Amino acid sequence: MAKTRIAFHASTAPAAQDALAALTRAYGQSLAEDAEVVVALGGDGFMLQTLHDTEELGLPVYGMNCGTVGFLMNAFDLEGLPERLALAEETLINPLEMRATTAEGEVVRALAINEVSLLRAGPQAAKLAIYVDGKLRLEELVCDGALLCTPAGSTAYNYSAHGPILPIGSDVLALTAVAAFRPRRWRGALLPKTAVVRLDVLNPEKRPVMADADSRSVQNVVSVEIRSEPRVQHRILFDPGHGLEERLIVEQFA
């Protein structure tokens, strides 16, 4: 049965606003609280924002690309949207939870669907110590930064930093260095989804570091703990044959 109660959310980009006007004329507009599905109009960044904004509603989100890359999006088409929604395949994603402690002692928590990253915030390279499940695994990583990503985020910043692409169905997280200087040949690690990763900033006064969880930034961090959050599930809809699993395979042969 086609889903007919649709809540359209659009970015401020002109193309997305034009799409919003056309789609609401064709299919109406429901409040998110009354809808069966949310349709996000924009690019991948707006899709992440929509997933965060609607996570408490438990609704599936179907993205239509009005941006550039659109890895998390379906192709835009004004026609046949209810039929596409009825046939769409659902992918479930658990976000990461970041717990960042600042030099002032403030603790900031945030969820990230793609990745949590630590990046140098000054002219000198960052120095990080890496713990996995409470055990010191790397005493000193000298780098521009490091990130922990989900399978959904493995083709984003992680891939640009030469990290691995992870199959969506895998219970694995990727820990990847950004421009590692020492150990020069360290290429990161694949960790079980249940792992708790902590990155401590060494000499933060001289080598300041910021943390970022899906564009929520925290300055002057001294320690960041990251884990998968199984209590939160994001439901993403894709047209048949064009889900994240297929996109991850295609990306590796592009």
Q: Which residues are catalytic?
A: 44
Residue pair 40/47 in contact by the 8 Å Cβ criterion: yes
Give the torsion sign (CA, 153, 157, 159, 161): negative
pLDDT band at 254; cut points 50, 70, 90: low
Nearest to 182 by CA among 248, 108, 125: 125
Mean pLDDT, to the nearest integer, of 27-40? Answer: 95
CA atoms of 156 and 114, how far apart (whole Å): 7
Q: What is the pLDDT of residues 213-248, one digit of tens each?
A: 998 999 999 999 999 999 999 999 999 987 777 777
Q: What is the pLDDT of residues 44-87, one digit of tens each?
A: 889 999 999 999 999 999 999 997 777 889 999 999 999 999 99
Radius of gyration for the chain, computed over Cα atoms and rounded to the nearest angstrom: 19
Q: Considering all CA atoms of the chain, what is the largest pairwise distance in Å, rounded to the nearest integer?
A: 60
pTM of the model: 0.86
CA atoms of 75 and 103, how far apart (whole Å): 45
Give the torsion sign (CA, 254, 244, 31, 4): positive
Q: How many Cα atoms occupy the beta-carbon half-sphere of 40 within 13 Å?
A: 27
Residue pair 60/236 in contact by the 8 Å Cβ criterion: yes
Q: What is the pLDDT of residues 161-219, one digit of tens each?
A: 999 989 877 899 999 999 999 998 888 999 999 999 999 999 999 999 999 999 899 99
Tell me which residue has tokens 């110590």.
Answer: 129
What H or E segment, with its residue span, contains residue 54? helix 44-54
